[in-house]
Structure 1
């Protein structure tokens, strides 16, 4: 929410904006961990907050939430659930290889410095 007196976003809104800005920059075929996403957004050690916030995205959000994984490339959404199955389908459609519910972060991990030019 924006403070009508100062026209600046609240701290909570600023955090979400930073998170969504970085998430929107993750290219197809690349993935990040919750912790890495928090760090890139300047949110320090807020991996759990990132997970909760992404879990509250509205239906039909265009943000690439499916590119965010647990530590070491672990898929944290369970197979056989609608969101877990959708995540796996979206990642595979982008050419991301999934083996035993993990993604090879060395191969598919996003390193923004390498992709910024």
Structure 2
């Protein structure tokens, strides 16, 4: 596994219940500030294998970015079950719920 991919997996696994991180935030911490789309790919291809808490990863606007209605609802319900309160149907307050790990992944 490439170092960036390994870092992404470890970062996502470190997100605690009731917190979220953005795709861009994860890619930057993993060592590639422009790799947000790679984070999406890693979640898609490795999510099940590594039991990644994919529902804790959202876009930079603080929104669920999934278009599929079923997956959207699964993500929203999973976040609500962890205590996250939505400002609108798909948006949360990043200043309240965004996780900022102290570890220097990928540095």
TM superposition score normalised by structure 1: 0.77
Tell me how far apart the structure 1 counterparts of residues 49 and 32 of structure 2 sit (CA, whole Å): 25
- Which residue of the partner structure matches residue 38 of structure 1? 27
For 1:91, the equivalent position in structure 2 comes to 79
Greater relative contact order (Cα < 8 A, sep 6+)? 2
- Once residues 51 and 31 of structure 1 are traced to their aligned partners in structure 2, the CA distance between those partners, rounded to angstroms, is 15
**Structure 1 residue 58, shift from structure 2 partner:** 5.0
Name segments (4+ residues, structure 1) moved above 6 Å.
none
**Number of equivalent positions:** 101
Q: CA 1:69–1:57 in 2, change beyond 3 Å: closer, same or farther?
A: same
Assess if the C-alpha contact under 8 Å between 2:47 and 2:54 holds in 1. no
Cα distance in 2 for residues equivalent to 1:96 and 1:37: 19
Residue by residue over 1:37-75, the C-alpha shift from the partner in whole angstroms, topping out at 9 and shown as x without a partner, is 111111221011111221223547521111000112011
Unaligned 5+ segments in structure 2 are 103-107
Larger radius of gyration: 1
In 1, Cα distance between equivalents of 2:31 and 2:66: 25
